Amino acid sequence: MKKNVFTLLAALSVLAMILAACAKPTPETVVVTQVVTEREEVPVEVTRQVEVEVPVEATPEPVEIVLWTKEGEADGGLQYVQSLADAYTAIHPNVTFEIVNKDVETLREDFLTAGLAGSMPDLLWTVNDHAGPFTDAGLIMPVDDLFDLSQYVDAALAAAQLNGQTWGVPISNGNHLMLLYNKDLIETPPMDTDELVQMGQDLTTGDQYGLVYNQTEPFWLVPWLGGFGGAVFAEDGKTPTLNTQPMIDALQFLYDIKYTTPIVPAECDYDAADTLFKEGKAAMIINGDWSLGGYKDALGDKLGVARIPQVVGHEWPHPYTSGVYLMLPISLEGAKLEAVVDFVNFVTSANNQALMIAKLNRLPALKAALDDPLIANDPILKGSADQMVVGTPMPTVSEMRCNWDAMKPEMQAVLAGDKSPEDAAAAMQEAAETCIANLD
């Protein structure tokens, strides 16, 4: 007797329960009950069991990302990084983070050491001038093929480019020094160095100072060097030019505002300057855009932002500009690389760039975020942008490390009254040349 099959119904509820119980990444053979209706003279229902292969969705592999960041707690930067990591984990529960704070120099040194030991972190949140030593050591990977870099500000990308490749994804644009002032103490900021000294002397009394800045790092020397018409390199971008009249003049100026026409504390590192300004014991501070969030919290509407005063008879000081970047260690691969790339895109998304503007008052690196009203309507950010336009890009070549190391002790010696600006400039040049000669 010929049989005609009219219907073939799968028992979907049974299959659903089986699938829910499975959590394997490969197809699994399951037994499904099928009901077959056959027509003869009298309809008969027959059940039978067949084996079918059902693809089972994989459970995401757990990934832990160790992220080293130069951000600290004082300005809310570290808290911002942690909040992004927490938000990402909330969306992707299989990805967790260990956030490790290191100051800029320690991060550089520790990462180079970790590279030699084969124990690198999974992601770096750091400054662009680390690109030089990290690429020379072969410790980070280019990011050109991993991200759509066309969405970022050209100047921000340029600061992380070497040898035709890009070595970091920009988070913020600027990272430059500027003059910040307390409006309770200063109505109009000084426009040139003569006004700075006069105003500073009027405001320096008792435990209050006219100006504070980090007297221990040459990053705060470089703007004045540019203001006097100098630069740390010749036109080739690699030959140091530290023993010059502009360097001598810049060192002399910093000596004078400490000893001849004192407007700064006798001793002052970064933390001391930061505290004095937040407590209202300093009328002005020279600090970077990374500090704006903390100062807005401390001073509110009393915070003002302006350019570092122009050097009389010369130029506007030229602070280094760069930004903050996410750099990927060369050791990344597989699921960890995929998670890191996705997290980087998450960090630099338009929403999180706007969040960074609101929380940290930094200029974004994403082109789309530059149009955010948070910038156009904020005098603090407008002031920061005004300073940035007279800045100069920070060199990323490895020779720059030799310049930093050469300038630091000599600047400190001048400010301690132990060495003349002339002798310090000569010693800088000699130390930088020796260092560069030994780079290879």
pLDDT digits (tens, 9 = 90+) for 63-76: 999 999 999 998 89
pLDDT for the residue 55: 56
Residue 32 counted as domain residue: yes
Regarding whether 406 and 285 lie in a shared domain, the answer is yes
pLDDT for the residue 317: 98
pLDDT for the residue 323: 85
pLDDT for the residue 72: 93
Categorize the per-residue pLDDT at 440 as very low, low, confident or very high, splitting at 50, 70 and 90: low
Residue for token pair 């036109």: 235
Closest Cα to residue 162, out of 185, 129, 187, 193? 129
Q: What is d(CA 398, CA 396) in angstroms, rounded to the nearest whole number?
A: 7
Regarding whether 430 and 284 lie in a shared domain, the answer is yes
The average pLDDT across 16-21 equals: 38
Supply the angle between the helices 292-299 and 270-278 in degrees, to the nearest 10. 30
Residue 382 counted as domain residue: no
Token digits of residue 406: 């050469």
In this structure, are strands 123-127 and 320-327 parallel, antiparallel, or unpaired?
antiparallel
Query: pLDDT tens, 152-190?
Result: 988 889 889 988 999 999 999 888 999 999 999 999 999
In this structure, are strands 95-101 and 63-69 parallel, antiparallel, or unpaired?
parallel
Regarding whether 268 and 206 lie in a shared domain, the answer is yes
Domain count, the chain: 3
Q: Percentage of the chain surpassing pLDDT 90?
A: 71
Q: What is d(CA 278, CA 299) in angstroms, rounded to the nearest whole number?
A: 7
In sign, the C-alpha dihedral spanning 381, 176, 341, 120 is: negative
Regarding whether 200 and 302 lie in a shared domain, the answer is yes
pLDDT for the residue 56: 53
**Residue 334 DSSP SS3:** helix
Residue 17 counted as domain residue: yes
Burial class (CB in 10 A: 0-12, 13-18, 19+), 341: middle
Q: Is 60 exceeded by the pLDDT of residue 44? A: no
End position of a domain, from candidates 54, 75, 90: 54
Regarding whether 132 and 21 lie in a shared domain, the answer is no
Report yes or no: 221 and 413 within 8 Å, Cβ to Cβ: no
pLDDT for the residue 19: 38
Regarding whether 149 and 116 lie in a shared domain, the answer is yes
Regarding whether 239 and 120 lie in a shared domain, the answer is no
pLDDT for the residue 80: 96
Categorize the per-residue pLDDT at 3 as very low, low, confident or very high, splitting at 50, 70 and 90: very low
pLDDT for the residue 382: 87
Residue 241 counted as domain residue: yes
Regarding whether 238 and 103 lie in a shared domain, the answer is no
Q: Percentage of the chain surpassing pLDDT 70?
A: 86
CATH of the domain at 85: 3.40.190.10
Name the DSSP letter for residue 257.
I
Regarding whether 169 and 204 lie in a shared domain, the answer is no
Residue 347 counted as domain residue: yes
Regarding whether 211 and 197 lie in a shared domain, the answer is yes
H helices then E strands: how many in the chain?
16, 15
Q: Which residue blocks in 92-192 are alpha helix, DSSP H?
A: 104-117, 131-136, 154-158
Categorize the per-residue pLDDT at 372 as very low, low, confident or very high, splitting at 50, 70 and 90: confident
The average pLDDT across 307-317 equals: 98
Residue 197 counted as domain residue: yes
Q: Mean of the per-residue pLDDT values for the chain?
A: 88
* Integer angstrom CA distances of residue 236 from 20, 87, 161, 419: 65, 45, 16, 30
Q: Is 50 exceeded by the pLDDT of residue 331? A: yes
pLDDT for the residue 281: 97
Categorize the per-residue pLDDT at 1 as very low, low, confident or very high, splitting at 50, 70 and 90: very low
CA 320 to chain centre: 14
Residue 385 counted as domain residue: no
Regarding whether 237 and 101 lie in a shared domain, the answer is no
Radius of gyration of the chain (CA): 30
Name the DSSP letter for residue 435.
H
Categorize the per-residue pLDDT at 16 as very low, low, confident or very high, splitting at 50, 70 and 90: very low
Regarding whether 237 and 304 lie in a shared domain, the answer is yes
Q: What is d(CA 293, CA 75) in angstroms, rounded to the nearest whole number?
A: 6
More confident residue, 163 or 122: 122
pLDDT for the residue 270: 96
Residue 256 counted as domain residue: yes
pLDDT for the residue 8: 32
Query: pLDDT tens, 173-232?
Result: 888 999 999 999 999 999 999 999 999 999 999 999 999 999 999 999 999 999 999 999
pLDDT for the residue 389: 84
Burial class (CB in 10 A: 0-12, 13-18, 19+), 5: exposed
Query: pLDDT tens, 26-43?
Result: 444 544 445 444 444 445
The average pLDDT across 124-133 equals: 92
pLDDT for the residue 304: 97
Range of the domain at 355: 63-175+322-368
pLDDT for the residue 60: 82
**Residue 168 DSSP SS3:** coil
| Cβ-Cβ contacts under 8 Å for 418 (sequence gap 6 or more) | none
- Helix, strand, coil: what percent of the chain each, to 5? 45, 20, 35
Q: Is 60 exceeded by the pLDDT of residue 354? A: yes
